[in-house]
Structure 1
């Protein structure tokens, strides 16, 4: 967690997400305390406790969408309680387009659709022998 957050901070991101929500409340407190000590007082810390958007909006709690950033950048722009978007580069190796970041901020796609162009050759190359998936290519 600390290495990823420090890397994001060095790249100009103004905040990072810390996963909490384990059965032991003290573990979450320890993770948050360690994050604050590592990142300093000016870096925003978002908490991922797997809350639903509906519940969060009902109580005016901020949310931080994550996973398909290209899709969630548009989502964050469309709801009132999503001031942050988690940068999650795990899919970069299997997509041809990445999320555009300017000055540490995510920019939603300007073209219609999800903003994701899958790299089907990279997906096929990443398949593991003995496992299969039904990949239907659009277009």
Structure 2
């Protein structure tokens, strides 16, 4: 009797550990609310609800990408980072948003070192 109870408890602990690991892997990185909100207006991707879950839609081409539900926000983050490497430029404390012709669309003033650090880390600037 005691062995079966120990097995049940051990199974439960392992199940919870694996579930928490999967949850942690599926979480996107934290975003700076002020800067990310301003950038969302210019980012060419948006999450769209559909009958079977979510999809990522390109605002430019209209093409929808349907990654598995557990990967949707990680894939969106990956697409945003690729966009940022091409269309964003960091000049001291100013984040410049450019269009496809490399013309300046807008400039965002980074008010704190924390915002600048987030931009560098999130978009992987050097």
Please state which band the TM-score falls in when normalised by the shorter chain. under 0.3
Which has a greater percent of strand? Answer: 2
Which has a greater percent of helix? Answer: 2
TM-score normalised to structure 2 length = 0.26
Higher-Rg member (1/2)? 2
TM-score normalised to structure 1 length = 0.24
